Structure 1
Amino acid sequence: MKVLETDRLILRWLTTDDATFILELLNEPAWIHYIGDKGVRTLEDAKNYIVTGPMKMYSQLGFGLFLVERKEGSSPIGMCGLIKRDTLDNVDIGFAFLSRYQTQGYGFESASAVLKYGHDQLNLQRILAITSLDNHASSALLEKIGMKFERTIILDKEELKLYLSGFRN
């Protein structure tokens, strides 16, 4: 199901048909370094990740991580969306892109649209973001979309930067 459209991108719900892409994305060196090794090694693992993660969140909350694909050629390039973690009080924005599509403005384009969607369509007043201390590219992107660094927090024994997209009326 298509959720958002930007000038160059379509953001839609993930399905198990996206398992090949998810297998590639979750095994990118940057994903493993900054987000963590999810142990997704086979297409079956990737399908399970989609079903128990994004698809479960769609059915429970109506949102989650969305597949980001380029309009030109309909090729999947990453994920960007909103997540509700048990460990955080508010919804947070998350994103990850295949390395060959980074630094081309796709992260900014999709994250800006998702943040606006969260505030305007889902009426979320407060949206968070977390990133590892050494993930300077993600920190810069979060600041570029208007999020403000709030403080460092400890989550699952890891020190992370916490960002906040303020209160909207």
Structure 2
Amino acid sequence: MIQTERLTLREFTEADAPFVLSLLQSPGWLQHIGDRGVYDLDSARGYIRKLEGSYREFGYGLWLAALKEDGRPIGMCGLLKRPTLPVEDIGYALLPEYAGRGYAEEAARATLQAARSRWGIDRVLAITTHANLRSIRLLWQLGFHLEKSIYMEGDEEELLLFSTVPEA
């Protein structure tokens, strides 16, 4: 678990399936991240089981971001280890009603700090679509640098690949 000033980042459990369904069916998720085949509570639980596999294998993954004051889930943020990328990448998403309030930056900064301090990960990647200007702006604010455009396996859309630079 990771605590920030306003958020708690924790592992997902199957009890979070209704929230996962809501987040993965939100317009922003579908537009900028894509359809992950989560259409009902059963498929949401299946998505969570994949996240739990990452926790077991690597010790990290995507975490549920909840408001510290009342535990209300508002999004997710964390590290992913994809076979198609050379190092971990950061992922984040919020329900639309919580966008633009600094929560994504707060969660991402805490995730990057945990990557360095807990797992010794200095270089982190990030991928986003050309159209996701809010995400691009956040990556600049976090100190990421644009490396190149890429295509992910099975995806027809060109993506932007960003990376952190290891601290000296």
Asked whether the two chains share a fold, i.e. TM above 0.5, the reply is yes
Structure-2 residue corresponding to 1:25: 23
Which aligned segments of 4 or more residues in structure 1 are displaced greater than 2 angstroms?
none
5+ residue gaps, structure 2, are none
Determine helix, strand or coil for the equivalent of 1:74.
coil
1:90 to 82, 87, 90: 87
Determine helix, strand or coil for the equivalent of 1:121.
helix
CA distance in 2, matches of 1:147, 1:109: 15
Structure-1 residue corresponding to 2:46: 48
Taking only aligned residues, the RMSD between alpha carbons, in angstroms, comes to: 0.9
CA distance in 1, matches of 2:134, 2:98: 13
Structure-1 residue corresponding to 2:74: 77
| 1:142 counterpart = 2:139 | yes
1:13 to 11, 23, 38: 11
1:151 to 148, 151, 154: 148
5+ residue gaps, structure 1, are none
Equivalenced residues, count: 166
Higher relative strand content: 1
Aligned-pair identity (%): 42
CA distance in 1, matches of 2:48, 2:157: 24
Per the normalisation by structure 1, the TM-score is 0.95
CA distance in 1, matches of 2:112, 2:161: 16
CA distance in 2, matches of 1:112, 1:134: 23
Per the normalisation by structure 2, the TM-score is 0.96
CA distance in 2, matches of 1:7, 1:145: 17
